[in-house]
């Protein structure tokens, strides 16, 4: 693939040295380079393809990195990375030791703020703008935020604050009418009406309107031009009411529009915040022959010519699929069961539930705080809400989990997808903390099923818990291939099980680490050591009888969980020591995620790095049993 124009622009300063007439060719080659990259690495494709021209225009007009561009979420930042000195490494994207799939401060000076969760860009940008003013500097600060991210309350908190201040900052609303799933709520409808109320402005008209505002103050005779620039006739936009000078909407793929407008925004001396509303097409120029309802938000590796995906085939049902399947079964038997998700219907499997029960499925947009309290409100009316949110995103609604659910003891059921390490999305999306932040809440029931069949039982169990909030966590990816039973008996609350009997040493595993615990037991058996393996099933309440039995009948105990320190094992250790179970010289070891972030890699490699795979369990067990771990590994 020849890219003569892009080759001349490895960094923004060299891009700015090129004639403006070359920018269309640069954008075309940048789109092709982005497609070729993701075809080899997999990753987030649609968002980046939608902002190619905007990316070129921003780096051409603004003096980056002195001028700061903050990409909300970071899904759309692949073209930005290619233009900012990282093209030679772009095919290491999301690979071990390679570039992050998101913006990252320690990766490049062109990434002023790390972002992988949505709706942070305006707050961060305002902080940078105020910091600039306090230092007496004059660089520009530009926050690029998508319409989906604008469904989160934090964006409006930031705009409300910015509108009341006099710090100059530019917010670019990238409106592709499609976040990860179809944008939800009144805002999306409002933007659609705003766009459809008139055709895109011509560049001549827009330039005249913007020039009327910058640099001089608008005169009374130019009032009509100001109204047009603010995007209203006879009324007001929500953005201008929040104190922003509104311009748009404009075609985000038309460089003849974007470049003059951005130059005027760069050179204008108006104080206060500005919002430029650009309209783009997510997935523009994609190579796929079929349409996607989510515009290729995230894709596996694919053939760049045919668009055929190169996704490994598995016979095992995914954990997400197992959850959705069982939730539908439960809802068929109980019309009080409803499902809530926060802009991730397909990621959580709620899209399948919605196909079967459209009136009982609710996507609240990127608004986890609202979603949790909305579910709490449903619970007060006698419904049984299942709130399906990724572990990393539930963090965003934690105050509501505490204040609106746990404090009132409302039976909201949290289905926590992507628990534990998550592979190529890395530390930003790791579900490392849910056990710690949920197990500390009084009355909360927390389950961690060990495989897809156990997950189905956990769903059925949660459906029966009507007197307390509950949660069950499960990882990303496919299950282990066990059959899911047709007839399911819910768990006895707070009770685990012994899966394999032995002596001297017991492994108490929580969640899907059970498969590796059994592999470790096989390896140790080959070395002549028979060990017990138990499946805790519940992180809270812990099974006091099971723990007592394991320590009574064994010399040592290993506790394993795929979560941060302070979670399940901490509660087990507190119980052990408060009840004197370790007073007779029992040896206890705890394996959790380490006290550091784990970068993107395969999930298996991340577990090995964390010391939570079968090999790590064998090594720890060998130390407890007085065996030579190196000899055991060599024999295996």
> What are the residues whose beta carbons fall under 8 Å from the beta carbon of 470, sequence distance 6 or more?
411, 412, 413, 414, 444, 445, 446, 447, 461, 462
Q: Which residue has the tokens 């710090």?
A: 167
Neighbouring-strand partners of residue 417: 390
Is 330 labeled as catalytic in the residue annotation?
Answer: no
Q: What share of the chain is helix, strand, coil (3-state, %, to 5)?
A: 45, 15, 40
Pairing of the two strands 141-146 and 337-341: unpaired
* Eight-state DSSP code of residue 406: I
Sheet arrangement for strand 169-175: 68-71, 141-146, 169-175, 273-279, 245-251
Neighbouring-strand partners of residue 569: none
Alpha-carbon distance of 611 to 634, in angstroms, equals 18
**613 phi-psi bin (left φ>0, alpha ψ -120 to 50, beta other):** beta
Is 282 labeled as catalytic in the residue annotation?
Answer: yes
Alpha-carbon distance of 452 to 402, in angstroms, equals 29
* Among 68, 284, 396, 500, the one annotated catalytic: 396
Bond into 120 cis (ω within 30): no
- Exposed, middle or buried: residue 574 (CB in 10 Å: 0-12, 13-18, 19+)? exposed
Alpha-carbon distance of 150 to 553, in angstroms, equals 57
Which three-class secondary structure state does DSSP give residue 305?
Answer: coil
In 84-202, alpha helices (H): 121-134, 153-163, 186-196
Alpha-carbon distance of 611 to 63, in angstroms, equals 45
Tokens of 196: 């459809």
Is 94 labeled as catalytic in the residue annotation?
Answer: no
Pairing of the two strands 532-535 and 497-500: antiparallel
Beta strands (DSSP E) in 467-595 are: 470-473, 497-500, 505-509, 532-535, 538-540, 556-560, 587-591
Backbone angles phi, psi at 556, to 5 degrees: -145, 160
* Among 86, 104, 132, 282, the one annotated catalytic: 282
Q: Say what angle helices 319-333 and 452-464 make with each other, to 10 degrees.
A: 30
Backbone angles phi, psi at 546, to 5 degrees: -65, -45
Alpha-carbon distance of 159 to 148, in angstroms, equals 16
Alpha-carbon distance of 122 to 72, in angstroms, equals 8
Count of positions (residues) in the chain: 636
* Among 33, 330, 368, 561, the one annotated catalytic: 368
Q: How far is CA 442 from CA 70, 425, 561, 573, in A?
A: 39, 32, 21, 18
* Sign for the pseudo-dihedral over CA of 477, 479, 481, 487: negative
Rg of the chain's alpha carbons, rounded to an integer? 27
Catalytically active residues are 282, 368, 396
């Amino acid at each position: 693939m020849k890219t003569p124009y892009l080759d001349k622009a490895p960094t923004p300063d060299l891009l700015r040295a090129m004639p403006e007439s070359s920018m269309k060719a640069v954008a075309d080659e940048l789109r092709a380079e982005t497609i070729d990259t993701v075809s080899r690495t997999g990753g987030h494709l649609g968002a980046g393809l939608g902002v190619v021209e905007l990316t070129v225009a921003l780096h051409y007009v603004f003096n980056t990195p002195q001028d700061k561009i903050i990409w909300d979420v970071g899904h759309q930042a692949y073209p930005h990375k290619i233009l900012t000195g990282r093209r030679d490494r772009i095919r290491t994207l999301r690979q071990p030791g390679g570039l992050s799939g998101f913006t990252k401060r320690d990766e490049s000076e062109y990434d002023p703020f790390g972002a992988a969760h949505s709706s942070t860009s305006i707050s961060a940008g305002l902080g940078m703008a105020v910091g600039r003013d306090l230092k007496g500097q004059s660089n520009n600060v530009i926050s690029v935020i998508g319409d989906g991210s604008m469904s989160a309350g934090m964006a409006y908190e930031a705009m409300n604050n910015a509108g009341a201040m006099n710090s100059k900052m530019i917010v670019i609303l990238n409106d592709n009418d499609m976040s990860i799933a179809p944008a939800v709520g009144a805002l999306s409808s409002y933007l659609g009406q705003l766009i459809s109320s008139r055709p895109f402005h011509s560049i001549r008209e827009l330039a005249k309107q913007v020039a009327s505002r910058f640099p001089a103050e608008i005169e009374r005779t130019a009032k009509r031009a100001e109204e047009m620039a603010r995007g209203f006739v006879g009324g007001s936009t929500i953005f201008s009411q929040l104190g922003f000078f509104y311009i748009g909407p404009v075609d985000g793929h038309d460089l003849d529009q974007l470049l003059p407008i951005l130059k005027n925004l760069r050179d204008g001396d108006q104080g206060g915040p500005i919002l430029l509303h650009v309209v783009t097409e997510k997935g523009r120029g994609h190579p796929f022959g079929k349409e996607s309802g989510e515009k290729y938000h995230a894709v596996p590796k694919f053939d760049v010519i045919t668009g055929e995906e190169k996704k490994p085939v598995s016979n095992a049902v995914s954990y997400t699929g197992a959850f959705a399947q069982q939730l539908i079964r439960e809802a068929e038997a109980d019309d009080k069961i409803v499902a809530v998700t926060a802009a991730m219907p397909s990621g959580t499997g709620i899209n399948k539930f919605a196909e079967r029960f459209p009136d009982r499925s609710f996507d609240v947009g990127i608004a986890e705080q609202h979603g949790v309290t909305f579910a709490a409100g449903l619970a007060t009316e006698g419904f049984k809400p299942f709130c399906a949110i990724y572990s990393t995103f539930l963090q965003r609604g934690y105050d509501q989990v505490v204040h609106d659910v746990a404090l009132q003891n409302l039976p909201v059921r949290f289905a926590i997808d992507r628990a534990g390490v998550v592979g190529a999305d890395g530390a930003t999306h790791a579900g490392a903390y849910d056990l710690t932040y949920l197990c500390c809440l009084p009355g909360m029931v927390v389950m961690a099923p060990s495989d897809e069949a156990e997950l189905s039982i956990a769903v059925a169990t949660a459906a029966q818990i009507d007197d307390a909030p509950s949660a069950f966590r499960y990882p990303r990816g496919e299950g282990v291939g066990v059959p899911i039973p047709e007839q399911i008996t819910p768990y006895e609350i707070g009770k685990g099980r012994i899966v394999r009997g032995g002596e001297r040493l017991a492994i108490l595993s929580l969640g899907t680490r059970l498969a590796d615990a059994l592999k470790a037991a096989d390896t140790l058996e080959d070395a002549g050591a028979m060990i017990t393996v138990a499946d805790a099933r519940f992180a809270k309440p812990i099974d006091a009888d099971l723990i007592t039995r394991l320590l009574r009948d064994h010399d040592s105990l290993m506790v394993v969980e795929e979560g941060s320190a302070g979670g399940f094992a901490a509660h087990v250790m507190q119980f052990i020591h408060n009840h004197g179970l370790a007073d007779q010289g029992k040896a206890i070891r705890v394996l959790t995620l380490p006290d550091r972030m784990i970068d993107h890699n395969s999930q298996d490699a991340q577990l090995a790095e964390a010391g939570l795979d079968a090999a790590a369990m064998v090594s720890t067990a060998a130390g407890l049993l007085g065996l030579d771990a190196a000899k055991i590994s060599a024999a295996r």
